[in-house]
Amino acid sequence: MAKVTNTLRRRQNLKQTLVRAAEKTIAKRGLAGLRARELAVEVGCAVGAIYNVVEDIDDLIMLVNERTLAALERSLIESAQVTTGAAGTADAIERLVGLAVGYLDFAHANGLRWRAMFDHRLPKGRDVPDWYRASQRRLFGYVEAPLRALQPGASDQRLALLARSLFSAVHGVVELGLDEKLQPLPVEILHEQVAAVAAAIGRGMAQA
Amino acid sequence: MAKVTNTLRRRQNLKQTLVRAAEKTIAKRGLAGLRARELAVEVGCAVGAIYNVVEDIDDLIMLVNERTLAALERSLIESAQVTTGAAGTADAIERLVGLAVGYLDFAHANGLRWRAMFDHRLPKGRDVPDWYRASQRRLFGYVEAPLRALQPGASDQRLALLARSLFSAVHGVVELGLDEKLQPLPVEILHEQVAAVAAAIGRGMAQA
DNA sequence: AGAAAAATCTGAACGTTGTTCAAAAAACAG
DNA sequence: CTGTTTTTTGAACAACGTTCAGATTTTTCT
pLDDT in tens, A99-138: 999 999 999 999 999 999 999 999 988 999 999 999 999 9
Query: Alpha-carbon distance B195 to B97, whole Å?
Result: 5
Per-residue confidence (pLDDT) for residue A1, from 0 to 100: 33
* pLDDT bracket for residue B14 (50, 70, 90): confident
Instruction: Tell me if A204 and B205 make a contact (CB, 8 A cut-off).
Output: no
Q: Is the CB of B47 under 7 A from strand D?
A: yes
pTM of the model: 0.91
Contacts of B65 (CB under 8 A, 6+ apart): B116, B117, B120, B132
Contacts of A157 (CB under 8 A, 6+ apart): none
Q: Which residue has the higher pLDDT, A115 or B12?
A: A115
Q: Is the CB of A48 under 7 A from strand C?
A: yes
B window 36-95: Cβ near strand C (< 7 A) = 45-49, 52
Name the closest residue on chain B to residue A178, using Cα atoms.
Answer: B168
Asked if residue B172 lies in contact with residue A170, where contact means CB atoms within 8 angstroms, the answer is yes
The tens digit of pLDDT for each residue in B94-139 reads 999 999 999 999 999 999 999 999 999 999 889 999 999 999 999 9
> Shortest CA–C1' contact from A6: which nucleotide?
C27
Q: Is the CB of B15 under 7 A from strand C?
A: no
- B129 — alpha (psi -120 to 50), left (phi > 0) or beta? beta
CB count within 10 Å of CB B14 equals: 18
Q: Which of B119, B168, B176 sits opposite A173 (nearest CB)?
A: B168
* pLDDT bracket for residue B4 (50, 70, 90): very low
CB count within 10 Å of CB B170 equals: 28
Helices (H) and strands (E) in chain B, counts: 9, 0
The type of residue at B88 is G
> Gap from A48 CA to D13 C1', in Å?
14
Per-residue confidence (pLDDT) for residue A18, from 0 to 100: 95
> Shortest CA–C1' contact from A8: which nucleotide?
D7
Query: Alpha-carbon distance A95 to B119, whole Å?
Result: 32
Name the closest residue on chain A to residue B136, using Cα atoms.
Answer: A182
Phi, psi of A185 (to 5 degrees): -95, 150
Instruction: Tell me if A204 and B201 make a contact (CB, 8 A cut-off).
Output: yes
Per-residue confidence (pLDDT) for residue B3, from 0 to 100: 39
Distance from CA of B98 to the nearest CA of A (A): 17
Phi, psi of A3 (to 5 degrees): -80, -5
Angle between helices B156-178 and B187-207 (to 10 degrees): 160
> Shortest CA–C1' contact from A36: which nucleotide?
C18
A176 chain-B contacts, CB cut-off 8 A: 164, 167-168, 171-172
Structural Rg of chain A based on CA atoms: 20
Query: Alpha-carbon distance B182 to A177, whole Å?
Result: 21
> Gap from B29 CA to D21 C1', in Å?
35
A171 chain-B contacts, CB cut-off 8 A: 172, 176
Query: Alpha-carbon distance A105 to A76, whole Å?
Result: 9
Q: Which of B119, B161, B197 sits opposite A169 (nearest CB)?
A: B197
Per-residue confidence (pLDDT) for residue A83, from 0 to 100: 61
- What's the DSSP call for residue B23? H
Name the closest residue on chain A to residue B189, using Cα atoms.
Answer: A161
Spans in chain A with pLDDT lower than 50: 1-4
Query: Alpha-carbon distance B104 to B98, whole Å?
Result: 10
CB count within 10 Å of CB A138 equals: 12
CA atoms lying within 13 Å on the CB side of residue A166: 37
Distance from CA of A48 to the nearest CA of B (A): 25
Of B3-7, B35-39, B71-75, the least confident? B3-7
* pLDDT bracket for residue B72 (50, 70, 90): very high
> Shortest CA–C1' contact from A5: which nucleotide?
C27
